[in-house]
Amino acid sequence: MPLQRREIAPEKTAEQLELCERIRLRLGPGERFAMVDTYGCQQNESDSEILRGFLRAMGYTMTGDEQLADVIVVNTCAVREHAQMRVFGNVGALTHVKREHPERIVVLCGCMAQSEQIREQVLRSYRMVDLCFGPNELWRFPELLERTMQVHGLPGNRGRVFEAGGEDAVAEGLPRMRDGSVKAWLTIMSGCNNFCSYCIVPYVRGRERSRRSADVIAEASALIAAGYRDITLLGQNVNSYGRGLDEDTDFPDLLRRIDAIPGDFRVRFMTSHPKDATEKLFRAMAECEKCAPHIHLPVQSGSNRILKAMNRQYTREKYLALTERARELIPDLVLTTDVIVGFPGETEEDFLDTLRLTEEVRFDSMFTFIYSPRPGTPAAKLEDPTPRQEIQSRFDRLVESANAVSAALHASQEGRVVRVLIDGPGRSGDYTLSSRTDGGRLVHLKGSESLIGSWADVKITGSNTYALFGEIVRA
């Protein structure tokens, strides 16, 4: 049975906004700057929009220059060791900033900060960090920052604020400062109940809790009215949306309600868990005019033995049947996935099962990772005698295969005329514009930046492993 959904009382979130005003008045006149540095997934990007929203309400101007920032916020990811080490490296580099400007405040938040072990390490070894709190405390950021300002400069640990825990609850009415005006993140749920054996997310993000559908629809409607054209619904497992709500709305129902909102927009979502992906979802995607024909469906492994050890709760046979049915129902479906290589105990035969599955499905794009043990997860306790060199070799073989499939699928698009949303400036040689097809394929274009935010018909003239290149036929 799902846990009972809890919500932060509206008056409590209102108090946080009042605190923002109090901080702004205390700081007084004059321009002050804040910086939010984000690591990890789209959910972290969405959380950073809230952090920026709070900071703007306090009177701060955003900057990307740590030398200029009065408040530096580092929003962290704990999913892989590499991201964690990058965070520690970059936070450690702030030592010189604090030495030159001891009055500046450094904040470490996000998934890493939810770990007691990490908090202890930061408290002991990263003296430049003044405030540390996890994702469940995000809605209390103004309160925590005000407390930090009050004790800042006191000797020893008395001048630092470290908050643990926080309840798994939904907080509505928080301010946001979004990045750009074309694409928007829209969180529909947080947390995860799946407890895959390798994954730290349920331990740092908490259990699943869905927002009320009326709140999601209201936010989507406001985004569309404000001119946003590409909206991505976010959740650790969007397919399980609605469990624990006191209303009869599941994720396919929510998709249909968003699709019914008037306006010229496209809606996407991520991430989906194969155990909860259903024909009802695929039919909703096929029948919703504004739903992107793209699904990110992480398979992680093609070996039933490894899938069981991962606690993924499906088999390779079920996964293959799902993808086959999705493609039957959704024309031009773009299918992407995640794959982990080197899970403890993975044999060559297990790896070959994965390689055979990916070559059979022919994913448009694959995000491939070498297994990274996360302390506190069941898999971290498993022994693995496989040499690192052998794991790297398997990883390289998988990437080579994936790139060949992606290149071939992209080449098959050449000569077609497709509809794209021009969503930003280009970053590829002479191509001045970046755009996405309905299925999410990246298309580089040439044209005026005045076209950003508009739809265009584009003829695909070239491709490579990672992107398409096109000419605007009609804008």
Mean pLDDT in residue range 279-297: 98
Span 382-408, mean pLDDT? 97
Length of the chain as a residue count: 475
Homologous superfamily of 417-474? Nucleic acid-binding proteins (2.40.50.140)
Task: Tell me how many helices (H) and strands (E) the chain has.
Answer: 14, 19
Q: Which of 87-96, 250-259, 353-362 has the lowest mean pLDDT?
A: 87-96
For 112-128, what is each residue's pLDDT tens digit?
999 888 999 999 999 99
Q: Tens of pLDDT along 95-112?
A: 999 999 999 999 999 999
pLDDT at position 179: 84
- Helix (H) or strand (E) holding 369, with range, is strand 365-370
Those residues with Cβ within 8 angstroms of residue 61's Cβ, 6 or more apart along the chain or in another chain: 31, 32, 33, 34
pLDDT at 166 over 60: yes
| Distant-in-sequence, close-in-space partners of 453: CB < 8 Å, separation ≥ 6 | 181, 182, 227, 229, 422, 423
Determine the average pLDDT of the residues in 79-102.
92
Which pLDDT score, from 0 to 100, does residue 269 have? 98
Q: Distance between CA 297 and CA 252 in Å, rounded?
A: 16
Tell me the average pLDDT across 172-188. 94
From residue 327, how far is each of 66, 330, 332 by CA, in Å? 47, 5, 8
- Average pLDDT for residues 294-302, to the nearest whole number? 98
- 157 pLDDT above the threshold of 70: no
> Which candidate, 191, 195, 201, places its Cα nearest to that of 79?
201
pLDDT band at 137 (very low <50, low <70, confident <90, very high): very high
Greater pLDDT, 117 or 75: 75
Backbone angles phi, psi at 160, to 5 degrees: -130, 145
pLDDT value for 427: 83
pLDDT of residue 369 exceeding 70, the answer is: yes
Kindly tell me if the per-residue pLDDT of 2 is higher than 50: no
As to burial, measured by CB atoms within 10 angstroms (0-12 exposed, 13-18 middle, 19+ buried), residue 85 is: exposed
| β-bridge mates for residue 76, sequence order | 110
Q: What is the mean pLDDT of the chain?
A: 94
Return the pLDDT at 180: 85
Cβ–Cβ under 8 Å, residues 371 and 341? yes
Give 403-448 pLDDT, tens digit per residue: 999 999 999 999 999 999 999 999 888 999 999 999 999 999 999 9
Collapsing DSSP to helix, strand or coil, 372 comes out as: coil
pLDDT digits 0-9 by tens, 439-459: 999 999 999 999 999 999 999
**Does residue 154 register a pLDDT over 70?**
no
List pLDDT tens digits, range 258-279. Answer: 999 999 999 999 999 999 999 9
Least Cα distance to 132 among 105, 152, 161 occurs for 161
Q: How many angstroms from the chain centroid is the CA of residue 10?
A: 26
Tell me the percentage of the chain whose pLDDT exceeds 70: 97
10-162, CATH topology level: Rossmann fold (3.40.50)
The answer for 428, left when phi > 0, alpha when psi is -120 to 50, beta otherwise, is beta
Q: Mean pLDDT check: name the lowest of 113-117, 181-185, 264-268, 342-346.
A: 113-117
**Which of 442, 472, 430, 470 has the alpha carbon at shortest distance from 454?**
472
Per domain, the residue ranges of the chain are 10-162, 417-474
Distance CA 131, CA 147 (A): 9
C-alpha span between 377 and 373 (Å, rounded): 8
106 vs 154 pLDDT, higher one: 106
- What is the mean pLDDT of the segment spanning 325-350? 97
Residue 470: its H or E element? strand 468-474
pLDDT for res 4: 57
Percentage of the chain modeled with pLDDT above 90: 91
d(CA 449, CA 432): 7
- For residue 35, the cross-strand partners are 72
Give the per-residue pLDDT at 1: 39
